[in-house]
């Protein structure tokens, strides 16, 4: 099932080695993938750029691809072919958002079971983040973090895609937010409703958070090595929760001794792909809640910063350097 004859080659960004974003290269003659069993073939409208992409460029993302590989994994675009064994497929011409390795290209194969329709009247780029950023933030706050109204939530890397989503959702559910980000991003976070906005750099971060809150009920931890001790230290004893869904600065560890004698808190790990696969019932409830949040206007169409495929390596470097704000996207048509 296709929308006409498809090309046999395409442009895409290939990670030549695991030497970081500098090894990302635009290639003009990649083979167009096929829609395999259970897949849609999607003509890419926009592909999300996430910090996991940066981690993959150095081999730091567990289970990431071996170089060389076509980069990217979050995509929104038009279904141009449907592979065999897709139950109740969307018609060719539908626009979907999903995940599939090789998204920084003109075409990508996406697992149909993990794809969702782009909301009505939204562009492909506007839908980016729904199945990753917003779903991760909601899962961390609600089923994993057990957020209650009036509680304090600490959001690390709050100016990023997941971070901004988490701030918005936490405020919607009645929480008080401490947002951490570089100084030039503070106005954005204050505008989203963060009650306390602090620079992640500098000394005595733990003391500054405790002074502002008296201890937080929930920490959304995505930075890792450089912030993990602070996350454990500011969470309230016994009732505090730390949900870990990233390690941008490197891995951190916690011992049984720490949890018994130093940091008596709840620590939970979250990977949204594994969450969807291993607890599908909870994930279905999460998706239904996201749909309701869209209906209520809490989640609005996104406006990511768009880069062309040619400018993709520069975008990757900017994200790695921590100089970006909000969602970034790569689009073949830019």
Band of residue 334 on the pLDDT scale cut at 50, 70, 90: low
Domain positions in the chain: 9-128+302-331, 133-274
Average pLDDT, rounded, for the chain: 93
- Give me the percent of the chain exceeding a pLDDT of 70: 99
Run of H or E including 112: none
The beta-strand segments (E) located in 122-174 are: 152-155
pLDDT tens per residue, range 286-297: 989 999 999 999
CB atoms within 10 A of CB 99: 20
Run of H or E including 210: helix 205-213
Question: What is the C-alpha to C-alpha distance for residues 166 and 182, in angstroms, rounded to an integer?
Answer: 17
Assigned CATH topology for domain 133-274: Rossmann fold (3.40.50)
End-to-end CA distance of the chain: 27
Q: For the residues 14-35, what does the mean pLDDT come to?
A: 96
**Closest CA relative to residue 303, chosen from 128, 138, 170:** 128
Contacts for 271 with CB less than 8 Å, ≥ 6 apart: 245
Is the Cα dihedral 307, 312, 313, 316 positive or negative?
positive
pTM score of the predicted model: 0.88
Indicate whether 163 pLDDT > 90.
yes
**Closest CA relative to residue 148, chosen from 253, 67, 239:** 239
3-class DSSP state for residue 259?
helix
Contacts for 279 with CB less than 8 Å, ≥ 6 apart: none
Domain 9-128+302-331 has CATH 3.90.180.10: yes
Question: What is the C-alpha to C-alpha distance for residues 92 and 80, in angstroms, rounded to an integer?
Answer: 5
| CA-based radius of gyration for the chain | 20
pLDDT tens per residue, range 73-126: 999 999 999 999 998 999 999 999 998 899 999 999 998 987 889 999 999 999
């Amino acid at each position: 099932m296709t929308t006409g004859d498809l090309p046999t080659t395409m442009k895409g960004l290939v990670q030549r080695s695991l030497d970081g974003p500098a090894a990302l290269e635009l290639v003009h003659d990649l083979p167009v993938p096929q829609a395999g069993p259970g897949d849609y073939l999607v003509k890419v409208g926009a592909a999300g750029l996430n910090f996991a992409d940066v981690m993959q460029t150095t081999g730091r993302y567990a289970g990431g691809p071996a170089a060389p590989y076509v980069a990217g994994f979050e995509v929104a675009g038009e279904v141009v072919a449907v592979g065999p064994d897709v139950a109740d497929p969307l018609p060719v011409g539908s626009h979907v958002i999903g995940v599939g390795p090789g998204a920084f290209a003109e075409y990508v194969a996406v697992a149909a079971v993990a794809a969702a329709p782009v909301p009505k009247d939204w562009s492909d780029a506007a839908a980016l983040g729904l199945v990753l950023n917003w779903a991760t933030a909601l899962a961390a706050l609600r089923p994993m973090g057990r957020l209650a109204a009036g509680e304090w939530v600490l959001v690390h890397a709050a100016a990023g895609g997941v971070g901004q989503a988490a701030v918005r959702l936490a405020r919607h559910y009645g929480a008080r937010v401490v947002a951490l980000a570089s100084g030039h991003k503070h106005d954005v976070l204050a505008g989203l409703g963060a009650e306390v906005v602090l620079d992640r750099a500098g000394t005595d971060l733990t003391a500054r958070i405790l002074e502002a809150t008296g201890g937080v009920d929930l920490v959304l931890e995505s930075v890792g090595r450089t912030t993990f001790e602070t996350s454990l230290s500011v969470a309230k004893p016994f009732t505090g929760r730390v949900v870990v869904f990233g390690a941008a600065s490197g891995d951190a560890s916690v011992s049984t001794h720490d949890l018994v004698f130093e940091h008596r808190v709840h620590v939970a790990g979250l990977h949204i792909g594994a969450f969807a696969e291993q607890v599908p019932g909870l994930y279905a409830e999460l998706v239904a809640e996201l749909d309701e949040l869209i209906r209520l206007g809490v989640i609005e169409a996104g406006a990511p910063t768009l880069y062309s495929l040619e400018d993709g390596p520069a975008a990757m470097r900017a994200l790695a350097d921590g100089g970006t704000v909000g969602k970034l996207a790569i689009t073949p048509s830019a």
